[in-house]
Amino acid sequence: MRASTASACIVLVAAVLSCNPPAPEPPPRPTDIANAELGIRLSTLPEGLTVAVNQGATLELRPLDPTDGGVIRFVAGPEEYGINLVAAVQEHQRRIESLPDGAYLGAQELQAEFGTAFYSRGRFSDEGAAVEETIIVLIHPAGDRRLTLVSTYPAAEDSAARVEQLIDVLSYIE
């Protein structure tokens, strides 16, 4: 009787396993995301992000998981001579501090593929919710204007993952 029970269990397990095929592979990440008006291209889409908008001068990335919230926008400034990245960080600080419950959290210099860049971070209230904004400002790959990556997301105790994600996006810019 034990042998027939064991055989029945094996048959039952085999039947259950055959009804639950393995999960399909996730689709490949898009490559070569270009925006002619911004004059930039991403060699690939960083993990965990999707293109929400890529039209005209608007390129926005959002988390694949909508419950994560947030958006990463790319902003290319006008052509200018003598681009001052420190002034851009100071401008960001003033803007953050002017917002409701605005608290500037600091900045740091980075070395990017295209030269020096700065990230700057602050927190503020938007319609009663705590929001963080991290920017990375650098000289556009074409060299004639400023490029700013703006990441706005729900504030959390530790935003290191969001800052790392934005730096990761920076590494794919061409």
Tell me the pLDDT tens digit for each residue of 56-106: 999 999 999 989 999 999 999 999 888 999 999 999 999 999 999 999 999
The domain limits of the chain are 29-171
Q: What is the pTM of this model?
A: 0.81
Tell me the pLDDT tens digit for each residue of 12-39: 444 444 555 555 555 555 567 999 999 9
* Cβ atoms 122, 93 nearer than 8 A: yes
Pairing of strands 103-112, 58-63: unpaired
Structure confidence at residue 114 (pLDDT)? 82
**pLDDT at position 10 over 60:** no
> Residues for the chain: how many in total?
174
3-state secondary structure of 158: coil
Structure confidence at residue 13 (pLDDT)? 45
Categorize the per-residue pLDDT at 169 as very low, low, confident or very high, splitting at 50, 70 and 90.
Answer: very high
Query: Taking the domain 29-171, which CATH number applies?
Result: 3.40.1000.10
Measured CA distances, 155 to 8, 9, 68, 80, 129 (Å): 54, 50, 11, 34, 8
Q: Is the dihedral of CA 101, 170, 112, 146 positive or negative?
A: negative
Token pair for 96:
């953050």
